[in-house]
Amino acid sequence: MAENEKTVASTETAPRARKNFSGKAKGDKREPRERREREASDIEKRIVCVRRVQKVVKGGRTLRFSALVVVGDGKGKVGLGIGKSKDVSSAIEKATTIAKRSMKLIPIVNGTIPHEIIGRFSSTKMLMLPAPEGTGVIAGGSARSVLELAGVKNIVTKKHGSSNKINCVKATMEGLLSLRTKEEIARRRGKSPEEI
């Protein structure tokens, strides 16, 4: 009986593992560095445009650079970012960080989009049509970078309205984000995919 009491007392007074702000024990490692590096290497980056922008202030004009960057893993995840800085390299770096943070998952079925969609942003409309195997990516420069990095292999696109590169990229992203698969629609309606 006395031995049992001693063991209970010893377990109660045993020092607990200290926890850091993330809620994990102090000795726990978060994510292996190799895994993080491998995930980062899977992400491909593409600079869509770099623009020189001027701001007129009391003391004169301040010259800065604006960069639009698209990143994606070619497996359905894509993101875009716009960064501004006094030099080009840091503007691209900022844009890349923002793009990686804002990556979204795009539904892709057999290398193309599930259905026809029109992406709208400002005065730009981007019509996107699913295409059969072997068609390739038929799109303009700015929209092509988004679609290729998302992992779309076959698609036909047509741009209407403004040809501003930022608008085109954002319209393409809006269109891709509003895509829905047959299974997703069936789940929302409470039906089976065969019924739709």
In the chain, where the domains are located: 41-181
Could you tell me which CATH number the domain at 41-181 has? 3.30.230.10
pLDDT at 187 over 70: yes
- Per-residue model confidence (pLDDT) at position 27: 52
What is the mean predicted confidence (pLDDT) over 6-19? 50
**Residue (of 32, 145, 19, 26) closest to 80 by Cα position:** 145
pLDDT at 36 over 90: no
pLDDT (tens digit per residue) in 143-159: 999 999 999 999 999 99
The answer to whether 150 and 79 have CB atoms below 8 angstroms apart is: no
Which H or E run contains 119?
strand 117-121
DSSP 131-180: --TT--EE--HHHHHHHHHHT--SEEEEEEE---HHHHHHHHHHHHHT--
- Per-residue model confidence (pLDDT) at position 31: 59
DSSP 51-116: EEEEEEETTEEEEEEEEEEEEE-SSSEEEEEEEEESSHHHHHHHHHHHHHHT-EE---BTTB-SS-
- Tokens 């079925």 — which residue? 109
Cα separation, 193 vs 148, in Å, equals 28
Cα separation, 21 vs 43, in Å, equals 29
DSSP 171-192: HHHHHHHT---HHHHHHHHTS-
**168 CA to centre of own chain:** 16
pLDDT at 1 over 90: no
Which H or E run contains 69?
strand 60-72
In which band, very low, low, confident or very high, does the pLDDT at 171 lie, cut at 50, 70 and 90?
A: very high
